[in-house]
Structure 1
């Protein structure tokens, strides 16, 4: 695929990124796409591997290597190199319902296992995917294509995140009548309110939702099934139900002084900003969001959500931002026990940390550190936090390592806003409880291995609610696989593909 000698002739070239000093002034995406000609040369770098690990999606040492959707990456690289952009689009959507989302927010598992990355920089599969889908919208290829025949079978999808949307899209293509229920005021779930606007502009979601509506999918926002709508009525009206409500139960920090004013979960903080800027034409209005303006901020958690909090706080005008992470800093290059094509466990600096380094003069992250105590004033307002260092220790019985506090390493920092971005424990229990589905020990909806059927007849589950907190690309795969199983049970056979 691509040009046989392309990887030797052309260097990797990515989208141009606005400088931190400029992009922190707004909440829009800050990458300038390559020209069509430049993108075609990036397609030429694809090596035509005998075994394309980029699309394998296999689990190695508990981590995915390659694309979980099994995107036909070498094929569409070759197609854009030869200028056949329309056919590249059709190859892309065979495996991915939402390349407009994944080309923006996916960490590019495909590139990490690219054969070219063994000796050079990986092929820019994510950038090529972006070029293909945006060209398709511009040229009219990504238009609505309603199913020609309807089966008359009705399916309800509870939750409009990437898993729910993928399941709805697949089942609608099959001809079933699909209705998606969303408890928030706007459709999109995690995509809408869990990912900041500068990573995924919300008109991108609205553009795809409009296509799905034209194809026949019905969306009902502001409908909280299990609270506003009785489950019994849903089960009576629909032949099958898919629960795709996400893993939205945030992990808390159990430390003295946790009741201090000024401590919030990251998801609530990010959601308030997104809602505010969309109410006020991409600008913030004081008093209508959780503000970090003029605050000394401590972000707890070193993952993607923590980074999003850092970038958002800087755009608010925070006085300072510190980000703590329990685990040690990763090495700058692959360790000997982390060979290709495993996911590279190496140190990375994301956009928020890059911006903080420019604005405040240093990387905001502090490793092997956690909170020991939140200190509040007489009015109950947070104003200081006691931190403590951690060290790795091996449990002699299980052989597993854990992080232990280092006695005497405590120190105090000033902070009047704390954002907890420590991950999620599982699904909120009210929806599974309302439907009567069993939960496993991790508070995810229980199914048998390899299946999406819950313990309740005609009720299925998919996405983070089933798998646990994960990537958008995994949610899409779960939605596709759940849709296939539902279709099989409805029709006795299925022609829906998952890869």
Structure 2
């Protein structure tokens, strides 16, 4: 009888891929986790209990068939595991690297609830797809039949690219417009290489190009090309711009030189990794080397900033967050990585003002947690008289992102938005009030996760195909 490859969680402990020592990984922007060896991937996949109701799957925004591809990995059937993984997820190797699995699939693993340590789902997912690339199993898109209809997609981030993939597989002609000189959106210019090495994103974009997706880059809609021009050129249109407007800091001195936006800081660093010339980095404006850095915020963007500053050779790196550790929105795993790398966190701390121009000091107000707000989280409130000064040569604002005013920027008053400025669109389809215009990702749901953008892009692409098919039927009558 063949040996049972699964249910090993009782005898085999959880074992992540080896993490490079903090003293070593501080020196570069390479990913911090090594790859699993084949035997280790099989062993860890074999810890899955194959439970009857897979909470990992139901808590994954893409509802990936996780137990199935874990079993196939444990059995050594990796190409089949990749096929099942790819069936529900356009970019599994990216999700395997940057999804907060501790809050999603792994955080809801049944064996974790029973005290055995969760299955390392993300690491196995990454291993499966990296192996697929190495073995040549990932092929360019080849539609069985070409269609005459075309779709324009504004935004080359995860939502737009996921939609492009689905539409192109159906034979639709797809053109993606993006303001940057490379596709990928925040996956390219927002997320640092130590979480997501850039060749991982670039090879997916190359795969889409080889499959017939056209990219129009350095194209800022509303400036370089009118929204109406794109709309008139295509049979349907998808808005997937993301949210790029940074929330601002209040307080005296907030406009001083040396106080910068997280998106500008991270983009400069990521451009360096491509070998680009970055004058703002070379001048020191967006370079933490030798500086006392203070990052303000508690989300994943703040974690990206503090860990980037460490690698740039900052003299010290401190993170101010107005709530406590338990209430921060960022991944606890990222906080731990940052602490290992030498970042100091100051919990229940908020900036009250700034001294110097260029900035030399952050005036820090100590906070406490008061009554719950509308979301149920305790609201931070200042402790009277509890303040201190924190020296700083570089202050990075990582307070989150808001949508740009697209109806004004694009001269589209009929494009309906919510009171938060996000586009009003139907749940699951992404259909807006404008005929044939759909919207997905952060521009609809607000700043969120890459995996949700992928889900939205796939769902909306399916709805766009229905729209195109209906239009074709009407034309044929």
TM-score of the superposed pair, with normalisation by structure 1: 0.88
Q: Does 1:112 find its partner at 2:114? A: no
Task: Select which of 66, 71, 74 maps to 1:73.
Answer: 66
Partner residue, 1:153: 149
Partner residue, 2:440: 462
Q: Does 1:196 find its partner at 2:192? A: yes
2 CA distance for matches of 1:288 and 1:94? Answer: 45
Partner residue, 2:475: none
Q: CA deviation at 1:197?
A: 1.3
Q: CA deviation at 1:397?
A: 11
Alignment of 1:22-33 (within 5 A): 22-33=24-35
Partner residue, 1:63: none
- Contact kept, 8 Å, 1:276 with 1:289, in 2: the verdict is no
TM-score of the superposed pair, with normalisation by structure 2: 0.92
From the superposition, tell whether residues 173 and 328 of structure 1 become closer, same or farther in structure 2 (CA, over 3 Å): same
From the superposition, tell whether residues 251 and 398 of structure 1 become closer, same or farther in structure 2 (CA, over 3 Å): closer
Q: CA deviation at 1:289?
A: 6.5
Say which SS state the counterpart of residue 88 (structure 2) adopts. Answer: coil
Task: Select which of 413, 416, 419 maps to 2:390.
Answer: 413
Partner residue, 1:52: 54
Task: Select which of 87, 93, 98 maps to 1:100.
Answer: 93
Partner residue, 1:170: 166
Alignment of 1:364-375 (within 5 A): 364-375=344-355
- Contact kept, 8 Å, 2:303 with 2:330, in 1: the verdict is no
From the superposition, tell whether residues 431 and 459 of structure 1 become closer, same or farther in structure 2 (CA, over 3 Å): farther
Alignment of 1:185-334 (within 5 A): 185-279=181-275, 286-287=282-283, 290-330=286-326
Task: Select which of 83, 91, 111 maps to 2:84.
Answer: 91
Alignment of 1:5-20 (within 5 A): 5-20=7-22
Deviations along 1:318-360, one digit per CA (max 9) or x if unpaired, are 111110111122199xxxxxxxxxx99978734223201xxxx
From the superposition, tell whether residues 331 and 240 of structure 1 become closer, same or farther in structure 2 (CA, over 3 Å): closer
- Contact kept, 8 Å, 1:353 with 1:364, in 2: the verdict is yes
Q: CA deviation at 1:3?
A: 3.5
From the superposition, tell whether residues 52 and 435 of structure 1 become closer, same or farther in structure 2 (CA, over 3 Å): same
2 CA distance for matches of 1:181 and 1:486? Answer: 18
- Contact kept, 8 Å, 2:424 with 2:444, in 1: the verdict is yes
2 CA distance for matches of 1:111 and 1:203? Answer: 26
Moved more, 344-353 or 198-207: 344-353
Task: Select which of 455, 476, 479 maps to 2:457.
Answer: 479
- Contact kept, 8 Å, 1:307 with 1:350, in 2: the verdict is no
- Contact kept, 8 Å, 1:225 with 1:431, in 2: the verdict is no
2 CA distance for matches of 1:398 and 1:248? Answer: 24
Q: Does 1:130 find its partner at 2:126? A: yes
Deviations along 1:210-243, one digit per CA (max 9) or x if unpaired, are 1111111111111111111112211111000100
Partner residue, 1:390: 367
1 CA distance for matches of 2:155 and 2:258? Answer: 30
Task: Select which of 393, 396, 400 maps to 1:423.
Answer: 400
Q: CA deviation at 1:288?
A: 7.6
Say which SS state the counterpart of residue 407 (structure 1) adopts. Answer: strand
From the superposition, tell whether residues 97 and 392 of structure 1 become closer, same or farther in structure 2 (CA, over 3 Å): same
Q: CA deviation at 1:426?
A: 2.7
For structure 2, the residue ranges without an aligned partner over 5 or more in a row are 473-477
Deviations along 1:67-115, one digit per CA (max 9) or x if unpaired, are 1100000000110111111111110011000012111111111100010
Q: CA deviation at 1:276?
A: 2.0
Moved more, 444-453 or 303-312: 444-453
- Contact kept, 8 Å, 1:302 with 1:365, in 2: the verdict is no
- Contact kept, 8 Å, 1:156 with 1:234, in 2: the verdict is yes
Q: CA deviation at 1:417?
A: 0.7
2 CA distance for matches of 1:26 and 1:370? Answer: 30
Aligned residues: 465
Deviations along 1:194-215, one digit per CA (max 9) or x if unpaired, are 1011111111111111111111
1 CA distance for matches of 2:215 and 2:29? Answer: 27
2 CA distance for matches of 1:475 and 1:462? Answer: 7
Q: CA deviation at 1:48?
A: 1.1
Say which SS state the counterpart of residue 274 (structure 2) adopts. Answer: helix
Say which SS state the counterpart of residue 94 (structure 1) adopts. Answer: helix
Task: Select which of 421, 430, 444 maps to 1:443.
Answer: 421
Say which SS state the counterpart of residue 222 (structure 2) adopts. Answer: coil
- Contact kept, 8 Å, 2:6 with 2:74, in 1: the verdict is no
2 CA distance for matches of 1:480 and 1:148? Answer: 19
From the superposition, tell whether residues 331 and 411 of structure 1 become closer, same or farther in structure 2 (CA, over 3 Å): closer
From the superposition, tell whether residues 474 and 331 of structure 1 become closer, same or farther in structure 2 (CA, over 3 Å): closer
1 CA distance for matches of 2:24 and 2:261? Answer: 28
Moved more, 108-117 or 453-462: 453-462
Say which SS state the counterpart of residue 322 (structure 1) adopts. Answer: strand
